């Protein structure tokens, strides 16, 4: 398993360059938090808060989907 970490302030993946969390990282996070969906949501919400200042030019809806919306 690789760790696709975000690179601020663009919040892109340090491995593949896609918007973080990239598809690979999403799969990794789903596996890592398989039995803890609330913990996953809390982790991603904290990441969203950190990213929101750097990504102020993006809409709140876009950021919500990017960081949390895919977890459902």
Q: Is residue 41 part of a domain?
A: yes
Q: Is residue 25 part of a domain?
A: yes
Q: Can you list the residues of the chain whose pLDDT is less than 70?
A: 1-2
Instruction: Determine which helix (DSSP H) or strand (DSSP E) holds 12, and give its type and residue range.
Output: strand 12-13
Q: What is the pLDDT of residue 1?
A: 55
Q: Is residue 48 part of a domain?
A: yes
HEC assignment per residue over 19-70? ECCCHHHHHHHHHHCCCCHHHHHHHHHHHHHHHHHHCCCCCHHHHHHHHCHH
Contact at 8 Å (CB) between 69 and 38?
A: no
**Total count of domains within the chain:** 1
Looking up tokens 């975000």 gives 6
């Amino acid at each position: 398993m690789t760790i696709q970490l975000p690179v601020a302030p663009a919040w892109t993946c340090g491995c593949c360059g896609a918007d973080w969390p990239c598809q690979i990282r999403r799969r990794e996070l789903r596996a890592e938090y398989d039995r803890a969906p609330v913990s996953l949501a809390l982790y991603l919400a904290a990441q969203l808060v950190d990213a929101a200042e750097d990504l102020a030019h993006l809409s709140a809806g876009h950021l919500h989907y990017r960081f949390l919306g895919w977890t459902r």
